[in-house]
Amino acid sequence: MFVLFALCVAAISCSKDNSSTPNDPNNTDNPTNTEDPNSPTDCVDPEDAIVVNLRNDGGSVTILDRPLEMNYANNFVCVYDYVTIASVGEVPGIGCIESIPQSGWSNQVAVIPGNGYVLKYERYHESTGSITIKYARIYVVRYLFSATNEGILGAEIKYQDNWSDWFGTPPVVSTSIVAEITTTTAICGGNVTSDGGGTIIERGICWSTSEAPTINDNYANSGTGLGNYSIQMTNLAQNTRYYVRAYARNEIGLSYGEQNTFKTQLDIGGIDYSNIVLNELNGTDKFIEIYNMGNIPLPLEGMYIMKDDYAAGATWTADATVVVPAHSFVLLYSEDAIIDHPEHPEALMFHSGLSSKKTVRITLFMPDGSVRDEFTRGVTGVWGQTISDVRPQSFARTPDGGDWKLADPTPGVANPSFGQPIPQE
């Protein structure tokens, strides 16, 4: 007799089980294993429930692709840090474990016959910032005792390994447009449009100076549930580009919305930029000239240039080294022309082309995002013409921000007071 029983528990054994009440092995109350609406304690086992004899001397069973052990103290023990277990207390059977515990998660918990448990696998993926969460449900049918009264040898348990499918999918969330941008704050949020069949247990935004921010970067929580929400980001660095994404989490996983970007304003400290203007544009030599019409030097830090439809963002942003003297110029060359100007500082290179055969719009912005000056012109058939048949023309202003003319290029020095009118298109 002892030999037969020992063989029964010496190794883990598995079988499919369809009994409606595990404490009723003969299933006398529900032999057809169907729901009985008049029996609130009746629990139908899922078709894929597996019965296992789990020993307490280091035996284990693989659930959620990770080993779950039972030790001599008769505790379930999760071997990996990202696997935890929580008890749901006494239930009639595995089919009555119907929700995810909100607390009580640990790497080990006491094995008690008649109790239900939920096993959770939660793994963070650093490359994407996403989180994979899977669940399994477990029911302890009974202890396994030695035939010679040596005590508890283990437990008979039932488990359903793919219970996560019962809950659905991760949530769906979108990121809102960033608004009310200041030197150190901005407002952004999101819209949780689907809970994935579960419960939205957390939602918010995350931001960073690097792309694809995650909740491991700066983040702020905005509670739970579906719908729109907004959050103010604080303690931002001025004159700095940030990336922001909304996020939402349910019992199955963590999702992110699309990435938006914004740039904080620069505290200009009362600087008057009204004397800063665009002065000369040339699509053959590929340069842009900025002129200071005033009587004092002006720092341009935070001022920036955008080209054409702005889809690619700023093509040049002035850093702290860019100061334009009184009645003088800052000369910017395109990165396309760097081979002809290897000595030109990187701080004075703009990162786009400048064609002599296409229409063009060049806009100069102040650090607070307002427009300081703009040149818009359809230049087809104009750039590339010459006055003297020696050099291509520039669009150039007459001294001190006057009208735009066609004139010989004068990069870095004053433009001539004469020039040809720009032909009308």
Average pLDDT over residues 76-102: 91
pLDDT at 325: 93
Percent of the chain with pLDDT over 90: 49
Residues 358-372: pLDDT tens digits? 667 899 998 888 899
Does 2.60.40.1260 match the CATH number of domain 276-407?
Answer: yes
For residue 90, the one-letter residue type is E
Rounded Cα distance, 211 and 301, in Å? 23
The whole-number average pLDDT for the span 6-22 is: 41
The pLDDT tens digits of the residues spanning 127-170 come to 666 677 888 999 999 999 988 777 899 999 999 987 766 566 78
> Which distant-in-sequence residues (6+ apart) come within 8 Å of 11 by Cβ?
53
> How many whole angstroms separate alpha carbon 307 and alpha carbon 328?
23
Which amino acid type is present at position 358?
Answer: K
Q: Which residue has the tokens 């006398």?
A: 28
pLDDT band for position 15 (50/70/90)?
Answer: low
Which strands, in side-by-side order, build the sheet including 304-307?
Answer: 314-317, 304-307, 360-365, 371-377
Residue 329 has pLDDT above 80, yes or no: yes
Among 179-193, 257-271, 290-304, name the one with the lowest average pLDDT.
257-271
- What b-and-e string marks burial along 190-201, b requiring 16 or more CB atoms within 10 Å of the CB? bbbebbbebbbb
Class of domain 172-263: mainly beta
What are the residue boundaries of the structural domains of the chain, listed by start?
2-166, 172-263, 276-407
Does the structure show a pLDDT above 90 at 196? Answer: no
- List, for residues 372-390, the tens digit of each pLDDT value: 999 887 543 344 443 333 3
Tell me, yes or no, if the two domains 172-263 and 276-407 fold the same way.
yes
pLDDT at 197 over 50: yes
Q: What pTM did the predictor assign? A: 0.44
Tokens describing residue 93:
């059977």
